[in-house]
Every structure is written in C-alpha cells, then in structure tokens.
Structure 1
Amino acid sequence: MADSLVERRSIDVVPDEERHGTAFSQFTLWLGANLQITTVVTGALAVVFGGDVVWSLAGLLAGNLLGGTVMALHSAQGPRLGLPQMISSRAQFGVRGAIVPLALVIVMYIGFFASGTVLAGQAVGKLTHLGAVPGILLFALITGVTAIIGYRVIHALGRVASVICALAFIYLGIRLLNRIDLGAVLQQHSFALPMFLLAMSLSASWQLAFGPYVADYSRYLPRTTSSRATFWWTLAGTALGAQWSMTFGVLVAATAGSAFIGDEVGYVVGLGGTGLIASFLYFVIALGKLTINVLNTYGGFMSIVTSITGFRSQRAISTRVRTVYIAVIMVAGTAVALAGRNSFLDSFADFLLFLLAFFTPWSAINLVDYYLLSREGYELPALTDPDGRYGGWRWDALTVYVVALIAQFPFLATSFYTGPLVASLGGADISWIVGLVVPALLYGLLGSRRRRPRVRQGAGDGTPDIGAGAGGREESGNVAGSPDTSGAAIGAESTKTAP
C-alpha cells in the first residue's frame, strides 16, 4: 500500500502490494458520482423534449440498467488487469491504433468537464457571492488539484459525496412531493415509442460514457476481488444514483416548466429553502459536481497519457508530467465552459446523444475481446510494445469500429444531423442499439477466426503460462497457479468467472 497520499501510478500496472480496498468502494464512488445536478438535468431532458412522466421514467430505467451493465462489465476488468481502462484497448486496436477511440474519449472528457463546470460554477458563484465566471474558475482549480492527488482522495470524495448528496436528495424529494400533486403527474402516461427511446438513449449514453474510465477506479482493488462483486456493486451504485437523480429531474421538469429551464441550479436550491439551507444546497451541488468532474479530469489525463505513450513505448510517467497533463485538461475544459455557458442545456443534450454513437462500438469490441475471446487475460508487456503480440495497428478492430460508426448514422437523431431512416421509425433514435450489436457480432466473428499465438506452457523456468484455456479456447496471457506480480501477464484464475 502506498504511503504517500499523492498517487504515484498512472498507466503502469498496480503491483499486488499496493492493492487495497473492497468492491463496495465502487458502490459509494458511483452513487456519489451520479447524485448530482447534471444527472438531474439529463433526466429532465426526457420531459423537456416531449416525453410524458411515466414512460420517461421507464425509458430512463431501461437505459440505466442496460448502459450500467455494459459499464459495470468494464469495471470488473480493473482488479484483474491493474491497469487504466483505455490501456486494455491496445489489445484490440493495437498499441498505436488505440489512439483512434482515445481521441474521441479525450473530447468527451473535456466536454463533460465543461458541462459540469457550468452548473457547478453557478453553485460556487452563489455560495461565495463571486458570480458565475469566478465560480467556474475556482471550481476548475479545485477539480484539478484533487485530480492531481489522485486515486485515494477520489474514493474518499466519493464516500463523502454519497452520504451527503443522498441526504440532500431525500430532503429535496420530500420538499418536491409536498409541492406537487404526484397522482396527477403520474397520470401522464401516453406511450410514444420515439420519446421512450429518447429517454432510454439519454440514460444509456450517460452510463456508457463512464465506460472508457470506469476501470481506472477499480484497478487498485486486490487481484483476488471477485469479478461478480465488482460488477454488482458498480452496477448498483451507478444505476441507483442515476435513476434517483433522473427521476427527480423528470418530476421537476414536468411540474416547474420554464422556471427550471435555464436556471437549473437556482430552481433546485429554491425548492429546498433559503438562508443556511440554500447555502448548504449550493455546497451539495458543488460537491456532487466535484466528484464527477474529478473523474472526468483524471480520466482525460489517463487517455492523453495512453495516447502519447503508445508512440513512445513508455510504461510510466513522472508526477511532474502528470501535473502538466491534468492542467491541460483543466484549462481546455474551463475554456469550453466559459464559451458555452449560455447555451448549456441544448448543447449538452446533443453532446450526449452524439457521443453515444462513438462509444458503443468501442464498448462492444472491448467487452467481446476481453470476456469471450481473451477470456479475461492479456499479455501486459505487449500492451506497450508496438512490435509485440498486439502490434502497432490492429486493422481488423479498426475496420469493425469504422463499419459500426457508419452503420449507426442512418439511425442517429440530433438537432444538427438526422439520419435518413429516423423518420420511418417515427423519429426514434436506435443508433446506440446498432452500435452495440453490429461491432459485437463482427468483431466476435473476426476474432474467433484469428489465429492466436500459442506460448509453450511452463517448463519450470518461471515464465508465465500462456496457452489453451477451458473448453479448448486459448487465453491471452492467463496465468496458471498463483497471480503474477511481475507485470508479465495477468489473467483469470480458473475458479473465477465473468459476471
């Protein structure tokens, strides 16, 4: 276990002696990350764009469960590999080819940092009486410092936020129910497939966007941590937190109308009260946003480092370089926040739905490769060697990724682009479903036919065994016997199964 509060690890493998914590930490982290104002706004969008209350709630729940399942499957990779999430993409796309999805991931992190900072800046500005712009700048600075400290403080922040934000949402929920006629609101249940799928897309995209960094926050768990426990605690935290916040957003949007749109933070705080209560709620909003914005900053840093080191064959970076990368993410995100703060709601909706088209194919390819083809094991030294097992560019995966992107666009519906098949579906956006199914099938077919190199099983020389697994399928880097702590290869013990 590391003695220093400031994290030393970046994209390098976390050794067994530095592993700590339990799978329950994933519940508190992801509960706290979802009990926040941007999640509320995401749920509200389902009603703002024309959905009714009941079917919006149903669509949001379906999307949270489906997207959360995909996200939690990524989380379960962390304890096994001891690596940040996007490093494992090199096994599918190549050491250098992984930069293709990574470039989009970095854009995503900057966008989420910016959108979160807009809302948090409002809260900080009100709390400090400095105004929105100084509030944005102050919040961004606190986010950057927290991300630099790293993993331990991020999980501590998640534990604190999960308790404080849960109590605040209980209080706000009671206040809201005392103000509205819930029976009348729930009578709004006229089913329309396009609106149901819109709600489902909003919540699914919210969950899938966590996929590229979720394993970053489970990679310090002991290697013996159950995959099932990691999966279920992650899914429970993220689905419960998101659905709770989004339900609140749906009810607020259905009853507040224009009073909520454009002044989301002010309305929610006003719902709770004035004076000290208002100050506390501004603090809660800032705390919730700090939790998720730190994740976005930390994940953006990991993605930049993964991209650059893929061309330098590096396995670690210094603390000073780490600080510079995080500062770059912070400055870029703050600039976007300041530039777009006056058109946040519409821009954020399109941002979420458009990102979904780029991340569902990556998730499908990564999960099929990890769980079905490689059977939860990779040869870790090869992940930093473009001349090694995974090569510099894996053109089969990159081709599948591009084909999946193209396949989605006829079904994509945003304000700036609508695919030609959307109208025939009544305006429903099903691009994300296509983005999951098409690459999973194509990559599974290509991967099962790819000749996987066999390494002679252990000859008593201490070399990790890489060979055929159960059922005659070959395992990429699986270790027979005790876990390997040298970083040569990591895999699943025979007694463990995927969630």
Structure 2
Amino acid sequence: MSRIQTVRKSGPAIERRSIDFVPNRERHGKPFGQFTLWFGANMQITAIVTGALAVIFGAPAFWGIVGLFIGNLLGGAVMALHAAQGPKLGMPQMISSRAQFGVFGAVIPLILVIVMYLGFAATGAVLAGQAVDLIIPTGNPAVGVFIFGGLTVLVATLGYKYIHMLGRISTIVGILGFTYLAIQLFLKHDVGSVLGVDGFAIPTFLLAISLSAGWQLTYGPYVADYSRYLPANTHATKTFFACMSGSVLGAQWSMTLGALFAAIAMPAGKGFIDNQVSFVGDLAGGGVIAVLMYMVIVVGKLTVNTLNAYGGYMTILTSVSAFTRQLRFAPWVRFAYVIGFIGVSVIIALVASEDFVSNFKNFVLLLLMVFIPWSSINLVDFYFSSKEKVDIPALYDSKGRYGTWNVPALLTYLVGVLVQIPFLAQHMYTGPITPLLGGADISWIVGLLVTAAVYYPVAKRFNHPPAEMVYPADDEVSPDPAAAATAPVA
C-alpha cells in the first residue's frame, strides 16, 4: 500500500493541517465517525445539568423531557447543516464565514466565539476537576483542574485523529455509565411518581425547548472542524444524519437523566444542582462504583473540552491569519496556542469566585444571541444564495472575491442580534416582550427567522458567488460536485 493510500485511510498520527484546506488525497474516514464523536461529546454532566434546569425552572419532568427532545431536534438539525459543509469545503467552520462577511469582517463573530470557548472550557474544568479530585484525593481541587487541563492539551495537540478516537471511547464509556445510572435511578427512586402528564404550561415548555435548542446551536461555529477530513464525495445527507443523530441522542439521553435527577431531588432540584458530581457518585452506590462514575464524568468532559480547545485554537488562528495571510502552521504552533488557551481557562476556573464563574457562564449563554444570526447567515448563503459553490482560495485572500468587509452582511448580522433583545429571558437580562409570553425565551427562533428573511435578498443583491466550486490549484484530485450529489449510500 502506498504512503498516500495509507494517509488517506486513517490520516497521519499527529495532525499536520490547521486552518488550511485539506486536499482530496488526505481525506479519510466515514460519516459514522461523526455519530460517535457527537454522541460521546454529549454524554457528559453539563448536558445533565441543562436537562435539570428545565425542571428547576418550572417544567414538570414529563413535559420538560418532551420539550428538551423537540429543542434537540430543531437545534440539532441546524447544527448538522453546518457539519454537512465540512466534506465539501475541507476547511474549519469559521473560515467559511469569510464568504459572507469578508476576510476581515469575519473576525467580529470569531472573537465572540473565542470568548464562548473560554467560558465553556473554564466552567467545564471546574466540574471535571472536582471529579478528578474525587478519583485521586489530594485535598486541593486545583490539582484536579490542572490534571484535567493537561489531558485536554494532550489530545487537542495531537489533533483530529485522536479527537475522533476519544469520541469513540466516550461513546462506549457514556453508554455503560449512563445506563448504569438510569438503572440505579429506577431501582432507588419512584420515577413513575414524577412522570405524570399533568402541569403542562406553554412558557415552561418553550423554555425547555430553548434550553436544548441553544445547547445544540452552540456547536454550530465549530462542528465542521470535525467533518472536514471526510472524502469530498461523501454524501451530505449521510454527514447530516450521522452528526445530528449522534448529537441529539447523546444530548437527549443526558438531559433526560438531568430532568429526572432534578425532579426526584426537589424542592428546586437542590440535591443535584448544589452537588452535581457527588450526587452522581452517591446514586451510583459509592465506593469503587462511584469512582468509576467519576471517571465517566471525566471522559465525557474531556471529550467536549478538547473540542473547545481545538476549536478555540482554530478560531484564534483564523482571526490572526486574516491579517497575516499565513495559511499553514507547524504542530508546535498548535501546542503553543492550545497551552495558552487552556492556561487562560484554568486560571479563570481557579482564581474566580464561585459567583464569578456562575455569572461568566450566564454571560456566555447570553452570547448565544450573537451566534444565532451568524448561523442563519452562514446557512442561507451556503445552501440558498451561493448554492454550495465557494471560491476557496479567495477565502484566504483579502483582495479576492470576498474582499475585506461585507458591510451589507454585517449590518444584517447586527439586525439579527438586535431583533432578539426584546425576546430574551436570560439571567442577566429579560426583554420587554418576554413577560407577555409568560417568561418564555423565543429569541433564538426570532433570530434565526428574521435574519434569514433579511439576509436572503441582501445576498442576492450584493454577493457574487462563483458559478462552480473553486478549489486550490495544488489539490491534485479536485472533487467532482456531481459525484458528491450522486454518491451511493453505504
């Protein structure tokens, strides 16, 4: 077997690519890898907490679970549409934003994405650090945070292949661990007593939908980072459903457990929310079994934290490269950027007060309002305006087709952010229309629909996509767009 065939089959041991285009000769993998990655990334304790919030905020367990499922489906579909771009474009997700906003203009949402990554990495490190400290008692929770940060740096630095390997491990570990938790929950508690169908209320039902939809939408800015190595003729439908089913099933499983945990730990779910890691260990039965469950928590958080670190590194490089025009970076550069990123997140986790971490997390959740119009613009442009035709070399050239600043798109983006404000129902701010809806937050729906409606005619008027896909000249075997559309389903 030739070296090129070997690379194409499994990819290099340590990833060499960063934000540059992945040539067809280096593509490898199958769509099922998207399922295991996103299933494993969602089998984690923060997803459990998100499900618990639906009940804590007033939804009965049954209707909360139904609402969470609807939100996961809606948000997961949007997220998977971004994932389906990966094989076609062969680039990180946020690079493609230059086709909409311009090479410099795309830096605006990029900076906000970096803040989001840091927030989730910091709050995730706190929970995972607690679990590590329970596995290896040191008397100092900071040790657990440092160990977890070191593991994150290791996997994120090794890159794409090992991230997917971790996703497969997390899938197996999560299924075993969460199945055991579910069995213990039903054995030790009268779950049927909290699953009555009474108590339905539209505001809390919509809130449950918004919680899970927002969870899925958060993945939008970096989901294609993990599908970009798939062969270019991979059918988009296969990528879409592999990614969506993995993310929706993993998140729904975790959130359902969370809703039930909160319901049996009432009032206000405090028995779980106040001691999330310990609650899981106690439910597991304590002792060695509890330690195993703490390991399940660490593996799940490590998977998603690695995605945050890897995505954060790619986003920082994308921002920098807009001005330096550098396309390729050595592996040591990835290591340096990841070290810096994780270092900042660990510092936030360690030195911040408990109230600050809570408030910072709320701030990050509020930032979802800036990703929703970005997602709408990106999808409308790719699938409806440009019709999946992109000039890839021009994305790396500020003097190319897409220019520096796409002012009409940026103004539309601003409209998409502002239109959500009256409908927000966040800890930091509640919009004036929200009370009229019983406290339900529908800002994400408004943001998606209004931005799409405004942007489509703007794109038709001001954007000038290529007639066909334009690939780099050094891509030895440029994929045939027709082949991707007609690829057989395995």
TM-score, normalising length: structure 1: 0.91
Matched with 1:86 is 94
Once the two structures are TM-superposed, the CA of residue 189 in structure 1 deviates from its matched residue by: 3.2
| Contact 2:234-2:484 within 8 A present in 1 as well | no
Matched with 1:63 is 71
Q: Secondary structure at the match of 1:260?
A: helix
Matches within 5 A, 1:340-351: 340=352, 342-343=354-355, 346-347=358-359, 350-351=362-363
Q: Secondary structure at the match of 2:347?
A: helix
Residue 102 of structure 1 aligns with an amino acid whose one-letter code is L
Matched with 2:416 is 404
Matches within 5 A, 1:369-380: 369-380=381-392
Matched with 2:238 is 229
Q: Distance in 2 between matches of 1:384 and 1:346?
A: 38
| Contact 2:204-2:440 within 8 A present in 1 as well | yes
| Contact 2:233-2:479 within 8 A present in 1 as well | no
Equivalent residue pairs, number? 476
Residue 493 of structure 1 aligns with an amino acid whose one-letter code is A
Once the two structures are TM-superposed, the CA of residue 228 in structure 1 deviates from its matched residue by: 0.4
2:338 paired residue among 307, 311, 326: 326
| Contact 2:24-2:475 within 8 A present in 1 as well | no
Residue 96 of structure 1 aligns with an amino acid whose one-letter code is F
Matched with 1:155 is 164
1:35 paired residue among 40, 43, 50: 43
Matched with 2:277 is 265
Once the two structures are TM-superposed, the CA of residue 195 in structure 1 deviates from its matched residue by: 1.1
Moved more, 47-56 or 120-129: 47-56
Once the two structures are TM-superposed, the CA of residue 493 in structure 1 deviates from its matched residue by: 2.4
Residue 237 of structure 1 aligns with an amino acid whose one-letter code is G
1:119 paired residue among 119, 127, 136: 127
Q: Distance in 2 between matches of 1:127 and 1:451?
A: 55
Q: In structure 2, do the counterparts of structure 1 residues 79 and 354 end up closer, same or farther at CA, with 3 Å as the change threshold?
A: same
| Contact 1:206-1:352 within 8 A present in 2 as well | no
| Structure 1 residue 10 corresponds to structure 2 residue 22 | no
In the TM superposition, what whole-angstrom CA distance separates every residue of 1:58-100 from its partner, at most 9, and x where no partner exists?
Answer: 1111110000000000000111111000000000010110011
Q: In structure 2, do the counterparts of structure 1 residues 262 and 497 end up closer, same or farther at CA, with 3 Å as the change threshold?
A: farther
Residue 238 of structure 2 aligns with an amino acid whose one-letter code is A
2:448 paired residue among 436, 440, 445: 436
Matched with 2:84 is 76
Q: Distance in 2 between matches of 1:202 and 1:54?
A: 15
Q: In structure 2, do the counterparts of structure 1 residues 268 and 497 end up closer, same or farther at CA, with 3 Å as the change threshold?
A: farther
1:387 paired residue among 395, 399, 407: 399
Matched with 1:50 is 58
In the TM superposition, what whole-angstrom CA distance separates every residue of 1:402-450 from its partner, at most 9, and x where no partner exists?
Answer: 0111111011111221111111111111111111011111111111223
Matches within 5 A, 1:307-322: 307-322=319-334
2:461 paired residue among 436, 441, 449: 449
Moved more, 125-134 or 187-196: 187-196
1:173 paired residue among 182, 189, 192: 182
| Contact 2:123-2:361 within 8 A present in 1 as well | no
Matched with 1:106 is 114
Consecutive unaligned residues of structure 2, counting only runs of 5 or more, are 1-6
Matched with 2:147 is 138
| Structure 1 residue 247 corresponds to structure 2 residue 256 | yes
| Structure 1 residue 192 corresponds to structure 2 residue 187 | no
Consecutive unaligned residues of structure 1, counting only runs of 5 or more, are 454-465, 468-474
Matched with 1:354 is 366
Matched with 2:3 is none
| Contact 1:365-1:443 within 8 A present in 2 as well | yes
| Structure 1 residue 296 corresponds to structure 2 residue 304 | no
Once the two structures are TM-superposed, the CA of residue 266 in structure 1 deviates from its matched residue by: 0.4
In the TM superposition, what whole-angstrom CA distance separates every residue of 1:168-212 from its partner, at most 9, and x where no partner exists?
Answer: 100100000112222211115312222112111111111011011
| Contact 1:146-1:294 within 8 A present in 2 as well | yes
Q: Distance in 1 between matches of 2:80 and 2:57?
A: 29
Q: In structure 2, do the counterparts of structure 1 residues 93 and 134 end up closer, same or farther at CA, with 3 Å as the change threshold?
A: same
| Contact 1:101-1:362 within 8 A present in 2 as well | yes
Matched with 1:496 is 485
Once the two structures are TM-superposed, the CA of residue 263 in structure 1 deviates from its matched residue by: 0.7
Residue 436 of structure 1 aligns with an amino acid whose one-letter code is L
What RMSD over aligned residues (CA atoms) do the two structures have, in Å? Answer: 2.2
Q: In structure 2, do the counterparts of structure 1 residues 484 and 490 end up closer, same or farther at CA, with 3 Å as the change threshold?
A: farther
In the TM superposition, what whole-angstrom CA distance separates every residue of 1:141-165 from its partner, at most 9, and x where no partner exists?
Answer: 1101210111010000000110111
| Contact 1:484-1:490 within 8 A present in 2 as well | no
